Amino acid sequence: MLEINKEYIVTIETLGYEGEGVARINGYPVFIQGALTGERIKIKIIKSKKKFAFGEILEIIDKSDGRKIPDCIYFEKCGGCTLEHLKYDCQLEFKTNRVKECIRKIGGLNDDIVLPTLGMKDGYRYRNKGQFQVDLVDNEVKIGFYSEKSHKIIDIDSCLIQDEESEIIIRIIKKWMKKHSIMPAKKNGAFFGDGILRNIVIRKAFKTNEIMVILVTLHKEISYIEELIKELNSNVTGIKSIIQNINDKDTNWVMGEECITLAGQNYITDYIGDFKFNISALSFFQVNPYQTEVLYNKALEYADLSGSEVVFDAYCGTGTITLFLSQKAKKVYGVEIIEQAIENAKVNATLNNVANAEFFVGKSEEVIPNLIGKGIRPNVIVVDPPRKGCDIKLLDSIGEAKPDRVVYVSCDPSTLARDLKCLEEKGYRTVKVQPVDMFPMTKHVETVALLSKLNVDKHIDVEIKLDELDLTSAESKATYAQIKEYVLEKFGLKVSTLYIAQTKKKCGIEMREHYNKSKKDNQAILQCTPEKEEAIMDALRHFKMI
């Protein structure tokens, strides 16, 4: 272990999953927030464990050419934009390399198929939705975002990735709360009996400039609400909807299920490309409309439709990608497990006079085989799964359906790589992987991948027994206890052995027969949260298991 408060001069070797600098002291990894690859810096050890340590920068001796002064005054405190000290072209390079690493280490594929990340002009003012936390700290109302890896609120007056109108709206609400002693629902991060306002959500339609303001409260009664409505409408052009959302649960979920329209209509209207969408308070809509159009057009390009094809859109959500596909397909079938999302998809199709799209509620891995059983065979299958990736049964269904092409849209390069590996085993070749920067200034990256069915006459199957493969060497690099310790120390999260096993399974570390093992119907199994899965992924990378 390294000695706490001891100072060292180190050289940063690489950037970690969170964008932090990684150095080694006698082979001992040290994570330094804010450091960049190639920099020579003086650090102080602030936390030390058996396998790793954390340091803080005391002095940057040799700066990286990629370093820039952050434009945001809250950068060092706020947990949102972790890469703002890195020039934007270097951010894109970091994201490309991250995707390449996953494709190579998890997918076992040649990373030459990964194309350079498609970015924006400058990476600011791109978010059409802001979710602001409200808290009472030292008897003062704080409205803003969480600091990094904590529930401490950073009180902000400006956020450079949000739309500028949101700053005006927050100032008006804060002034109203102070004038009438409207209390936040939380005091120092915990619910207390006297408060009501827990969150503020602001949505803006960039094409129409329509704005929705959502007040998330513990209960229905809000004093002096008419005055707030008047102030908002008088000072902010474009407000078309003011909504109250009721969330009385002691949970981290931002919004509840009940919405009350306080003023205006219950939706705003925006466009992606030529398609029109009505967006309600609870509707899912991509937060970066500029890059969403880039992503969807790339998916449409990879689908390579001529007008005669049948397309399945798995995990279709509210049908945004489905509508894009409908432009050039004969017929598109959208499948989504969330009933409300399918209702929204049908409304969106009607709104845009799309007649060649049909939507189904249910699990994609169950609905798609049923469609095939009815004689409906897809030429192309598009998938856009959640962060955990595709269900293995859906991947099996794709293999059985044998579409000519598979287009995979992903928000997690690790699970993308795992699923590409599985599809390659089912007779597909990954042609190319295109990262798209949907979230500039952050670590996140979206990708769209194209897979093509192999010509069965030009390749042969080779059977390799599992005992001929060395599948245990990676697992021997760290015990479950070591992974738990790493995650607790670095992220402040407690993870179970089950969660670690689930994440390792997604990375293909465990035996394939365990990954494919069927479970009893309706068997209740806890699933790892995205936040904890990301932390475990970081640990697996640290121990060089992926």
Active site residues: 411
Q: 384 among the known binding-site residues? A: yes
Pairing of strands 129-137, 380-383: unpaired
- End-to-end C-alpha distance for the chain, whole angstroms: 24
How many angstroms separate the Cα of 256 from the Cα of each of 96, 245, 363?
Answer: 37, 6, 24
Neighbouring C-beta atoms of residue 427, cutoff 10 Å: 16
Q: Burial letters for 334-349: b for 16+ Cβ neighbours within 10 Å, e otherwise? A: bbbeeeebbebbbbbb
List 202's β-bridge partners, or say none.
130, 213
Helix ranges restricted to H, 236-314: 289-303
Residue 340 assigned to a binding site: no
Cα(220)–Cα(177) distance, rounded to whole angstroms?
Answer: 16
- State whether residue 187 is helix, strand or coil: strand
Report whether 134 contacts 197 (CB < 8 A). yes
- Which candidate, 90, 78, 170, places its Cα nearest to that of 123? 90
Phi and psi angles of residue 467, each rounded to the nearest 5 degrees, phi first: -75, -5
Q: What Cα–Cα distance (Å) separates residue 446 from each residue in 112, 118, 135?
A: 18, 10, 32
Residues 165 and 162: their CA atoms lie apart, in Å, by 8
Distance CA 323, CA 472 (A): 45
> Radius of gyration over alpha carbons of the chain, in Å?
25
- Whether the Cβ atoms of residue 1 and residue 29 lie closer than 8 Å to each other: no
**Residue list for the binding site for S-adenosyl-L-methionine:** 286, 315, 336, 384
